[in-house]
Amino acid sequence: MDRSSLLQLIQEQLDPEHTGFIGADTFTGLVHSHELPLDPAKLDMLVALAQSNERGQVCYQELVDLISSKRSSSFKRAIANGQRALPRDGLLDEPGLGVYKRFVRYVAYEILPREVDRHWYFYRHRSCPPPVFMASVTLAQIIVFLCYGARLNKWVLQTYHPEYMKSPLVYHPGHRARAWRFLTYMFMHVGLEQLGFNALLQLMIGVPLEMVHGLLRISLLYLAGVLAGSLTVSITDMRAPVVGGSGGVYALCSAHLANVVMNWAGMRCPYKLLRMVLALVCMSSEVGRAVWLRFSPPLPASGPQPSFMAHLAGAVVGVSMGLTILRSYEERLQDQCGWWVVLLAYGTFLLFAIFWNIFAYDLLGAHIPPPP
């Protein structure tokens, strides 16, 4: 029986008057008496949904959404608050898994705080499409770095080379009219140390996040952090250029760390306290290094060195927009009031930053270094 036939059968037999609700006891019997083309996690959730309703009814639309692989916040609340029939055994007890399935299980415990979500992800995960966004961005950054390293014959502190700032990818305040630079600066890096740090975090955190939450959401979060980084620098550090993908990296990391803290009891990743401390130390050290290079350059430079404000802007985007995305696993963002509040705040910031870049530099008489 396919999904459409199943839904039609349920509606005809259990909701002939089209009230939008189905009796929970009758529905539970139907679930157990038919061979449904659903994975085990969905079958458990259907039974839990039926038993969790205080009025003894199941909303027909909730059923449609679940069978269609869509989950709403009301369904999540029903599962959380009701007498759920989900299995108590965790995925760690699953025997006979292959290498890839064990990796999927590892990702589920690294990213998701609730057992019901881990089961849902584990059983419905498919290897296609793969997490191509973070891998592609990291590969592009490495290729660009190698090209400029070979061209400049310099692999550390590349920004001190007089030819480096002439790249059409770097954000420079003198080239603000070239709008693509507000994003493409993420492909350029100060040196091997910054590239290595960003690439490591993109692969260790970004790839698992993309596997769980999908390409669209994670790419949106990453690019929002990158764009917020360059725009924040153009407002708060008007003379400084920007290079590196730290805005996007800090958006991902801050969102993930904030999600772990807010769901501390439910997270099952090993050594989570130690890993949290190490992550905060590494991120703080990277910001400290950027501040040092900005205000105390170790080598003579022809102009201001890249700003550190992109790191902080990315972290703010991660805690706000990113946390909203990560707490909404398999739920429709457009159905959540918080998502629209975050979008409104981000849109307001974008408009302010655009007008600032158009008018403020001339009105304030900012002395920016000549563009290379």
H/E segment holding residue 23:
strand 21-23
The DSSP call for residue 304 is P
Sign of CA dihedral 79, 82, 87, 90: positive
Determine the residue type at 201: L
DSSP 46-107: HHHHHHH-TTSEEEHHHHHHHHTT-B-HHHHHHHHHS-----SS-GGG--S--HHHHHHHHH
Q: Are 207 and 135 in contact (CB under 8 A)?
A: yes
| 270 SS3 class | coil
In this structure, what token pair is assigned to residue 26?
């009758």
The DSSP call for residue 34 is S
Annotated catalytic residue: which of 119, 213, 256, 311?
311
Annotated catalytic residue: which of 167, 246, 307, 320?
246
Judge whether 4 counts as a catalytic residue: no
Task: For residue 129, say if its preceding peptide bond is cis, omega within 30 degrees of 0.
Answer: yes
Judge whether 320 counts as a catalytic residue: no
Produce one character per residue of 170-195: b if its CB has 16 or more CB atoms within 10 Å, e if not.
bbbbbbbeeeebbbbbbbbbbbeebb
H/E segment holding residue 21:
strand 21-23
Residue 183 vs residues 140, 201, 241, 340: alpha-carbon distances, Å: 14, 19, 13, 24
Cα–Cα distance, 248 to 257 (Å, whole number):
14
Backbone angles phi, psi at 106, to 5 degrees: -60, -45
Residues taking part in catalysis: 246, 311
